[in-house]
Amino acid sequence: MRYHQSGNIPQKRHTIFKSPEDKFYYEQLFGTEGFHGISSLLYHVHRPTQIKSIGEPKDVTPKIAIDKNVTPRMFKGMNVTPEDDFMDSRKFLLVNNDLKMGLAKPRKSMDYFYKNAECDELLYVHNGSGILKTFVGNLEFSFGDYLIIPRGTIYQVELNSDDTVFFVVESHSPIYTPKRYRNEFGQLLEHSPFCERDIIAPTFVEPKDEKGEFLIKVKKENQITDFIYATHPFDVVGWDGYFYPYKFNIKNFEPITGRIHQPPPVHQTFEAHNFVVCSFCARMYDYHPMAIPAPYNHSNIDSDEVLFYTEGDFMSRNHIDLMDFTLHPGGIVHGPHPGAMERSIGKKFTEEYAVMVDPFKPLKITEEAMKVEDPSYKTSWLEE
């Protein structure tokens, strides 16, 4: 992340800051990791602490169908059920102690505010468009955008249509750009497949100076609790720092290619504790005269591998539809489907787009996932 400033802020932090009407603004430190991690300072029209009431928590713990999995699996994302409400639509398919991932197909915009109080969120836009409204500004989104939302961000999602689809990752640790692509000052290096120009910060919006009853749904420890606040949460007159939501579009990722097949780490886009996120993008294939563009068989001993297919024709797989998930558990050999290796020889480029998540701890399979599983996938490498 890089430093960003928006709206009006005082010259010195932790000092008196007043409106033109001589009313105090109220400072809030927004950050994680006990004053050690990156943070921002926000300045509110009203105290951001004015709770009027707190409702009973609603349990949203994903129900586990398979606790220990060694079976290759495919889940048909097309068959995940849409819901009107944004939070109800969030169906987690694969989870462990580090993350949850799945799909959300909300049909309506949010008429409340939401805060994830323990997880960073990654929302990848597979379909649809709209506006992510937050207390530090707005981000317009459309196909291919990664929306990275730090824990504690208060936000709303406004949709332009009822067919929006998000690939969702909730991370119990911060989601960062890969450390190996940053220098000691945090700047992305010349060999990074993207740069700061590709990372879009929120657009500032004039503060909402409103009193009343404002519902913020707060998620923590797999419970969602309704908080009613006395003032509008989007009353920030200005902020600065390194901690804020942003977007990055998958088509701004510049693929790293070579004469022979490159391993998956060249596709890495984000990292967190115990998992990475990679972007497979349209790119030139390997250019050695004897190159085999299809990936070689591999067993990923130390991590599971999840691929979410979002655009184009994925050359290493047969019978893959958009929105499909494939899961390959660590330690079990996997590779191209029969005929895929041979078909790839001589090909010059691919137009495929997919998001890959590699967790370093085994994934559990939820009941939601089993509703949409294709049970034939595990034997789909048999030669006919």
Residue positions annotated with a catalytic role: 261
CB 66 within 8 A of CB 324: no
CB 332 within 8 A of CB 72: yes
Nearest to 366 by CA among 5, 69, 21, 41: 69
Q: Which two tokens stand for residue 30?
A: 């927004």
Query: CB neighbours (10 Å) of residue 285?
Result: 18
Q: Is 304 annotated as a binding residue?
A: yes
CB 188 within 8 A of CB 268: no
Q: How far is CA 302 from CA 98, 190, 317, in A?
A: 15, 30, 23
**Sheet containing strand 73-76, strands side by side:** 73-76, 324-328, 305-311, 353-359, 275-280, 268-272
Alpha-carbon distance 143 to 242, whole Å?
26
Indicate the helix (H) or strand (E) that contains 344.
helix 340-344
Percentage helix, strand, coil for the chain under 3-state DSSP, each rounded to 5: 10, 40, 50
Contacts of 161 (CB under 8 A, 6+ apart): 128, 129
CB 323 within 8 A of CB 77: yes
Binding residues for homogentisate, by number, are: 334
Binding residues, by number, are: 298, 304, 334
Binding residues for Fe cation, by number, are: 298, 304, 334
